[in-house]
């Protein structure tokens, strides 16, 4: 049974870039690694509807905090069987965003902190009702809001398919989301968390995580 590792962080933090580096580093040591990125655009109708809503389509869907959270959660529910199979077949399954994204953004949109009802609602729906696998380790890629926004802007200029959505244009939302992420990490919500900075070297982080897992630290099952 493999371990489930999640990279979390703000829009533009560099999660996808760091994930690619981790995969390369682990595979070079002979480990089998599978990856999934949520939302699963182009695979899940729920993910695609969510992305379209964030770009002004589907009436008032984007203005409903719970409607958006349920779309992202339903994408993960549909992926649950695939996720379990990947865990059975690989040493490591690395996720770019998972349930904590929904907890952080939903709480932040409501202006709640980590102790508010939104985080508990997401936990109950996704881990309780949808029975999604719990992570073994979550990594918060902690990047200042301004730097993450700059990275998202630069990416949007370079790649027309990655235009900034309404969440990415909302600096207040990103700031509040960062605060909820910090609290989730401090409380080790649903697993042990470690925090990585903006210039994290993927190779070094891969070694750090491997050591944690090897020592049994941060492994929840
Ligand atoms: N360490 C880094 N230094 C400089 N630029 C970086 C770094 N990491 C990522 N970037 C750049 O920042 C932009 C955003 O990175 P990336 O797509 O990996 O972020 P992300 O967290 O996955 O974003 P999102 O959640 O919005 O999809 C990309 O253009 C990427 O090349
Ligand atoms: C998976 C997930 C995502 N979100 C938020 C985070 C982003 O602002 C958007 C779209 O995600 P992307 O990584 O920029 O493609 O949605 C969320 O609120 N809840 C989730 O579960």
Q: Given this model, what pLDDT does residue 221 score?
A: 37
Determine, yes or no, domain membership for 219: no
What is the reported pLDDT for 133?
Answer: 98
Q: Which CATH number characterizes residue 11's domain?
A: 3.40.50.300
Looking at the domain assignment, is residue 129 inside a domain?
A: yes
Torsion of CA 197, 199, 204, 208, to 10 degrees: 10
For residue range 178-199, list pLDDT tens digits in order: 999 999 999 999 999 999 999 9
Q: Nearest to residue 201, comparing CAs of 12, 22, 4?
A: 22
Q: Is the CB of 15 within 6 Å of ligand 1?
A: yes
On the question of pLDDT at 160 being above 80, the answer is yes
Is 169 within the bounds of a domain? yes
Mean model confidence pLDDT for the chain:
96
CA 18 – ligand 1 centroid, Å: 8
Prediction ipTM score:
0.98
Q: What's the pLDDT at 67? A: 98
Residue 68 domain-assigned? no
- Mean local confidence (pLDDT), 200-218: 89
Instruction: Measure the CA–CA gap between 56 and 8, rounded to whole angstroms.
Output: 25
Instruction: List residues bridging with 94 in a β-sheet.
Output: 5, 35
49 falls within a domain:
no
Residue 131's CB is within 10 A of a number of other CB atoms, namely: 11
102 Cβ below 6 A of ligand 2: yes
Å from CA of 198 to ligand 1 middle: 10
Domain limits for position 135: 3-38+84-214
**Model pTM?**
0.97
User: How large is the average pLDDT for residues 25-49?
Assistant: 98
Structure tokens at 126: 């996704």
* Number of domains comprising the chain: 1
Residue 162 confidence (pLDDT): 86
Residue 217 has what pLDDT?
57
The CB of 97 under 6 Å from ligand 2? The reply is yes
Residue 71 lies in a domain: no
Any ligand 2 atom below 6 A from CB of 96? no
Is residue 75 domain-resident? no
d(CA 15, CA 24): 14
């Amino acid at each position: 049974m493999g371990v489930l590792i999640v990279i979390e962080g703000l829009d533009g933090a560099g999660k996808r870039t760091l994930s690619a580096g981790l995969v390369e580093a682990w595979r070079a040591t002979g480990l089998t690694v599978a990856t999934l990125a949520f939302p699963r655009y182009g695979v899940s109708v729920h993910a695609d509807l969510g992305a379209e809503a964030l770009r002004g389509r589907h009436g008032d869907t984007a203005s409903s905090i719970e409607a958006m959270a349920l779309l992202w959660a339903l994408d993960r529910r549909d992926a649950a069987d695939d996720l379990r199979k990947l865990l059975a077949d690989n040493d490591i399954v690395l996720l770019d965003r998972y349930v904590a994204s929904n907890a952080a953004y939903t709480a932040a949109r409501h202006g709640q902190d980590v102790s508010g009802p939104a985080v508990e609602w997401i936990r109950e729906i996704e881990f309780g009702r949808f029975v999604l696998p719990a992570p073994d380790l979550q990594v918060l890629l902690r990047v200042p809001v301004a730097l993450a926004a700059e990275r998202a802007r630069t990416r949007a200029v370079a790649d027309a398919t990655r235009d900034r959505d309404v969440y990415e244009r909302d600096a207040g939302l990103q700031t509040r989301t960062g605060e909820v992420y910090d609290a989730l990490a401090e409380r080790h919500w649903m697993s042990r968390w470690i925090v990585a900075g903006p210039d994290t070297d993927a190779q070094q982080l891969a070694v750090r995580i491997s050591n944690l897992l090897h020592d049994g630290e941060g492994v929840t099952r």
